[in-house]
Amino acid sequence: MPQHLLSDIRGLVCPMVTPFAADGALDLAAARQVVDFLIAHGVQVLFPAGSTGEGALLTQAEREALAAAVVDQAAGRVPVLVHTGAITTAETVALTRHAQAIGASAASVITPYFFTYDEESVFAHYLAVAQAVPDFPVFVYAFPGNAKNDISPALLARLRAAAPNIAGFKSSNGDLIRFQEYMDAIGPGGVPLCGVDGLMLPALALGSMGQVSGNSNAVPELFRRVYNTFRAGDLEAARAAQSAVNRARRALHDGVPLAYFKAALTLRGVPGGRVRAPMRELTPAQIDQLRADLQTLGVL
């Protein structure tokens, strides 16, 4: 199996959905089909067990099984960036060690969540994770809207200095100024990733190396078009591609609820599976509207 470098983590990064069966069980066979669909449609990095993947609703054993299945199915075709952030430091360390052991390319770790933590607590958490896997890249995942706790640019710079394997960041806070400050903090050689789909093109212009897009589960080819046209220097085509992405975001409601992404996959002939309670499924009327919207977007 080919080994990927840190520099390979770039382009379209898909935080893939996690399919569940009707009884709520993890459906790894369906997850493998999702992997193949995403790679075939231009996804350049797979990101299992993240927010879009309902990672917080999975047990540790389920997360490990999912990560192993994704790495196995990807079979070296693309890098796999496993989300290993958990509510405790101990579980985060265990999941990160597991990601390294199964041959993942890197780990992404969201800030500790639910409780409010001061900066020293967050620093100690990330340092413990990074030091547990000193030769394995770790990405800092900033999503204060969901996780409650934020990462300051100063803290990111401090982490980068303390642990060289703090290799990059994913920013989902929707602030381009903060994104640029994170880029300054991570410094040369770091990998900046944007997690807000409406900012894909401007973030690329600032120096983002990739877009982590939940919406790309449903329409990966539209997001890949933004990346390809920007890299080719065709800004007019890139702006048009970003406009198509924005239309897709509205059709998919940015995955609120996440069932939109899974339903879109199913409509495209891929078993997206069910969501896990307390998530809810789409209504028949929502599915009908989604079908019409995907037809308008040209993917059905």
Tell me the average confidence (pLDDT) per consecutive run of 10 residues in the chain, 300 residues long: 80 99 97 99 98 97 99 98 98 99 98 96 98 98 88 98 98 94 97 97 98 98 98 98 98 94 98 97 98 97
Longest dimension (CA), the chain: 52
Active site residues: 141, 170
Domain residue limits at 229? 6-255
Say how far residue 164 (Cα) sits from the centre of its chain. Answer: 22
CATH number where 237 lies: 3.20.20.70
Report the C-alpha gap between 267 and 261 in whole angstroms: 10
Nearest C-alpha neighbor of 139 from the set 87, 178, 91, 195: 195
User: Over the chain, what HEC string results?
Assistant: CCCCCHHHCCEEEECCCCCECCCCCECHHHHHHHHHHHHHCCCCEECCCCCCCCHHHCCHHHHHHHHHHHHHHHCCCCCEEEECCCCCHHHHHHHHHHHHHCCCCEEEEECCCCCCCCHHHHHHHHHHHHHHCCCCCEEEEECHHHHCCCCCHHHHHHHHHHCCCEEEEEECCCCHHHHHHHHHHHCCCCEEEECCHHHHHHHHHHCCCEEECCHHHCCHHHHHHHHHHHHCCCHHHHHHHHHHHHHHHHHHHHHCCCHHHHHHHHHCCCCCCECCCCCCCCCHHHHHHHHHHHHHHCCC
Strands 81-83 and 106-110: parallel
**Is 290 a domain residue?**
no
Q: What is the pLDDT of residue 147?
A: 84
**Is 291 a domain residue?**
no
Q: What is the pLDDT of residue 145?
A: 83
Three-point CA angle 5, 9, 12, nearest 5°: 150
What domain count does the chain have? 1
pTM of full prediction above 0.85: yes
Task: Judge contact between 192 and 223, C-beta under 8 A.
Answer: no
What values do phi and psi take at 281, rounded to 5? -80, 165
Nearest C-alpha neighbor of 225 from the set 248, 206, 207: 248
**Is 289 a domain residue?**
no
Q: What is the pLDDT of residue 5?
A: 81
**Is 195 a domain residue?**
yes
Report the C-alpha gap between 125 and 100 in whole angstroms: 18
Report the C-alpha gap between 84 and 100 in whole angstroms: 11
Task: Judge contact between 214 and 51, C-beta under 8 A.
Answer: yes
**Is 219 a domain residue?**
yes
